[in-house]
Amino acid sequence: MSDGSTSHSLVSELRRLVAGLTPGDRLPSSRELIERYRVSPVTVSRAIATLAAEGAVVSRPGSGTYVAPRTDHAGPTVADTAWQTVALADRAVDVRHLSGSYGAAPEGTIRLDGGYPHRSLQPTQALGAALARAARRPDAWDRAPASGLSALRSIFARFVGGSITPDDVLVTGGGQSALSIAFRAIAAPGSPVLVESPTYPGALAAARAAGLRPVPVPHDGDGIRPDLLAEAFAMTGARLLYCQPTYHNPTGAMLTAERRRQVAETVRAAGAFLLEDDFGRFLSHDRHPAAPMILDDRDGSTVYVTSLTKPAAPSLRIGALVARGPVMERMRAIRKVDDFFVARPLQEAAVELVSSPAWDRHLRALATELRERRLLLTGALTGERPDWRIAGPPTGGLHIWVQLPAGADALALAAAARRQGVTVDAGSRFFATEPPAAFLRLSHAAAADRAELLEGAQRLTALT
């Protein structure tokens, strides 16, 4: 073999050599290989490095190169990771309640579950145009400020209203990221956090991942019960309440004006924070949602969360935290530690989208369609299953909340519905502890159109 031969050729020769040796055998020295195959030292070094990367040989500096132990090629090597159980201890992140327990639905399944509108309800053309315009900006790929683009923070401040300024806004990677930041910023690991019962499973998962202990407070048709809230603060010493006053997920309830005042006073008296999740700000069925509770906040006790994701598209991961005082400084610090900033092109696209006339047209059309779909689904259920009690009905959001008759098994019904080509959310995953009854959360926004929504309702109500 001449000096001009490639390392690829030498690798092939050495593979044949190794195949005829026994694990632990020493290969000829580099000098011997150079002389035997008449190649350069560089070619030998590259060939040995290639075989070492493949796991065929082991190089021991000062000793030589040896044939590596053989592996079982009957199948992939399975690493023994049992030691990790000890190292990780009990720091598990529980995501069991974030989605259904049955895996991906088969093709053709009618979706009456999930937390996002169907693609047909998303402003895909406006999104594409906004992203294209954003990408053409000269600074589109520059580093973004940790708090978010000034223009986007101004937009969120305007959405909230009142005396909120851009300096009170922190842009996040969607609402779920905002919740994770807020939980870690406000409460220390091991602390209790009060939550509505039922509540959003993503909040339960984020709180537990932050090391917090969710403590449920009963919820009725008018929202969280202030009398039991005060009792929960007194019993637990909690310093944080997570609450969805507008279009509560999963029930769709609106916290009444009187209860909003009572809740705010109770939180203030406890020296606690209210984490107000206004995920449904743009999901009103009549375009007139209640004003955020943070507008009445006098002393910085309210931390507000909102997002553009649900009214736009799942991958527009743009949300915001609004707060005043040291808590905002701490959340900004966590934002930097987590990932420095939200991707600038996505922020620029969000600015382009919500600043265009297409955004307001989309929200008007979405409100009309959500209202019509909700009426269609509730009408189909009440007509066929009068024994199913529907909460509300809601005037916003993407879901209806159904209480099943005494003795019903929501998990069994969800499994049976799946076998009939319909997916639904069993209510148990919306409770921090045992549910008081059997419930279903049904989406009227996930189906492709009204005809498919009606077909899904008919399949569901035909089940016994």
CATH number at residue 26: 1.10.10.10
400 in the same domain as 322: no
What Cα–Cα distance (Å) separates residue 52 from each residue in 46, 69, 211, 241, 250?
10, 12, 43, 56, 56
439 three-class SS: strand
408 in the same domain as 278: no
Residue 45 · residue 29 · CB < 8 Å: no
Smallest Cα–Cα separation from 440: which of 462, 408, 464?
408
60 in the same domain as 187: no
The structure's pTM equals 0.80
249 in the same domain as 191: yes
413 in the same domain as 382: yes
Q: Specify if 280 maps to a domain.
A: yes
338 in the same domain as 429: no
Q: Is 247 left (phi over 0), alpha (psi -120 to 50) or beta?
A: left
Q: Specify if 77 maps to a domain.
A: no
Q: Specify if 76 maps to a domain.
A: no
Structure tokens at 274: 């209210």
Domain closes at, from 333, 357, 381: 357
Domain closes at, from 357, 385, 417: 357
Residues paired with 193 in a beta bridge: 214
Q: For 392, which DSSP code?
A: -
Residue 349 · residue 321 · CB < 8 Å: no
pLDDT at 124: 94
Which residues of 279-406 form beta strands (DSSP E)? Answer: 302-307, 319-322, 389-390, 399-403
Range of the domain at 448: 110-119+359-461
- Sequence-distant (6+) residues with CB within 8 A of 20 are none
**CATH code assigned at 421:** 3.90.1150.10
- Sequence-distant (6+) residues with CB within 8 A of 95 are 205
Q: Specify if 93 maps to a domain.
A: no
Backbone φ and ψ of 65, nearest 5°:
-115, 135
pLDDT in tens, 169-204: 999 999 999 999 999 999 999 999 999 999 999 999
What's the structural domain count of the chain? 3
Q: Specify if 155 maps to a domain.
A: yes
Residue 442 · residue 429 · CB < 8 Å: no
Q: For 173, which DSSP code?
A: S
Residue 177 · residue 343 · CB < 8 Å: no
Residues paired with 192 in a beta bridge: 213
363 in the same domain as 350: no
pLDDT at 400: 96
Residues paired with 274 in a beta bridge: 241, 302
265 in the same domain as 231: yes
pLDDT at 101: 52
The whole-angstrom separation of Cα 48 and Cα 7 is 9
Q: Specify if 433 maps to a domain.
A: yes
151 in the same domain as 263: yes
Q: Specify if 15 maps to a domain.
A: yes
160 in the same domain as 133: yes
What Cα–Cα distance (Å) separates residue 47 from each residue in 12, 33, 56, 165, 239?
9, 11, 11, 63, 63
The whole-angstrom separation of Cα 131 and Cα 143 is 17
The whole-angstrom separation of Cα 328 and Cα 441 is 34
Residue 228 burial by Cβ neighbours in a 10 Å radius (0-12, 13-18, 19+): middle
Backbone φ and ψ of 80, nearest 5°:
-85, 100
Domain closes at, from 342, 357, 372: 357
Ranges of the chain with pLDDT below 70: 1-6, 71-78, 90-91, 96-97, 99-104, 464
415 in the same domain as 318: no
Arithmetic mean of pLDDT over the chain: 90
pLDDT at 4: 46
Residue 390 burial by Cβ neighbours in a 10 Å radius (0-12, 13-18, 19+): middle
127 in the same domain as 44: no
Q: Specify if 78 maps to a domain.
A: no
Structure tokens at 161: 């209203």
Residue 144 · residue 343 · CB < 8 Å: yes
170 three-class SS: strand
